[in-house]
Amino acid sequence: MIEIENITKRYDKQTVVNDVSMVVEPRTIAAIVGTSGSGKTTLLRMINRLVEPTSGTIKLDGVDNHSLPDYELRRSIGYAIQGHGLFPHRTVAQNIATVPLLLGWDRERIDERVDELLKLFQLDPADFGPRYPHELSGGQQQRVGVARALAAKPNVLLMDEPFGALDPIIRTKAQEDLLAIQKHFGTTIILVTHDMEEAVHLGHKIAVMDGGKLVQYARPAEILAKPASSFVETLVGSSERPFRLLSLGRVGDAVEKGSAEGEAIPADASQRDALAELLWTGKPALPVKDTDGKALGRVTVDGLVKLAARPA
């Protein structure tokens, strides 16, 4: 759990983070969004003390982050940034092993961990472990950056625009990887992003920053349905709202009784994807199947349109 209490950062007369309080529950992802210069990175960096606050406290699992030396704190918190920051003269395996080595893990445990993480990120350890960062694609470097941040099994992972430089297809893949890994390890994650789509997709909660202030902190559905101010409404993008709402729901929750012709949609697909498929095929309904291929019923355009409307 991360508890941020009345945290403020001032540079001379400029207040860049202004009395922010928020709690990130264990094993959840909080996405921080906001305009450029709104204080997102500064807030994130006060958690691992790359930036010292002017006032306020931050507790990690109940412990004040000033109760131990900053280098020790940083070894216990994963940190992944845009551009991944890999050491160019160290191999992929050596990069991932950085923090476990500092923590004094034995060789065997480190090798096991490196292999485990590379496999988890779908990089063959024998092939990729000995390579240098410049021998990888941007997307692969990105995955190694996140693997390195996770190497010492941190309870907390801070991510600053980690997928910013990736093309849309690789970005989607990296997001799915992150969700899978977050479930697997139960890591608590704070993710800074410019991309509202990404925030809605990944965040259990979304924190909206404006001019150093936290203007709303709520679940994605609530941010979409009840933006706290016109600023949040603009950020959410009013023309995108119904589609973003649908992207939060699964087809399994929109199943209706009855049958339909055509290729079945999996129950775990998003409602947004189902609507896209319905519109594209020009059909009013399509069958829905579960992961075992069992027929569950159908999903209809009319049903989805109702779900995309502003919640009461």
Ligand X SMILES: Nc1ncnc2c1ncn2[C@@H]1O[C@H](COP(=O)(O)OP(=O)(O)OP(=O)(O)O)[C@@H](O)[C@H]1O
Q: Tell the smallest beta-carbon distance from residue 35 to ligand X (Å).
A: 7
Q: Tell the smallest beta-carbon distance from residue 148 to ligand X (Å).
A: 22
Neighbouring C-beta atoms of residue 40, cutoff 10 Å: 26
**Count of residues near ligand X by CB under 6 A:** 10
Quick one: 164 or 249, whose CB is closer to ligand X?
164
Listing DSSP states for 71-134 in one string gives: HHHHHTEEEEETT----TTS-HHHHHTHHHHHTT--HHHHHHHHHHHHHHTT--HHHHTT--GG
Quick one: 49 or 75, whose CB is closer to ligand X?
49
Q: Which one among 4, 7, 16, 260 touches ligand X, defined by CB under 6 A?
A: 16
Please give the Cα distance from 5 to 98 (Å, whole number).
31
Does position 259 bind ligand X by CB under 6 A? Answer: no
Q: Tell the smallest beta-carbon distance from residue 80 to ligand X (Å).
A: 15
Of residues 56 through 75, those in contact with ligand X by CB under 6 A are none
Angle at 35 between CA 137 and CA 14, to 5 degrees: 115
Quick one: 39 or 242, whose CB is closer to ligand X?
39
Residues 237, 25, 53, 77, CA torsion sign = negative
Q: In which residue are the tokens 């940190």 written?
A: 79
Residues 197, 171, 119, 99, CA torsion sign = negative
| 3-state class (DSSP) for residue 292 | coil
Q: Are 24 and 205 in contact (CB under 8 A)?
A: yes
Contact characters 25-54, ligand X, x per CB under 6 A: ---------x-xxxxxxx------------
Q: Tell the smallest beta-carbon distance from residue 36 to ligand X (Å).
A: 3
Quick one: 36 or 291, whose CB is closer to ligand X?
36
Quick one: 38 or 182, whose CB is closer to ligand X?
38
Q: Tell the smallest beta-carbon distance from residue 191 to ligand X (Å).
A: 12
Q: Are 243 and 67 in contact (CB under 8 A)?
A: no
Quick one: 141 or 193, whose CB is closer to ligand X?
193
User: Which residues of the chain form contacts with ligand X (CB under 6 A)?
Assistant: 11, 16, 34, 36-42
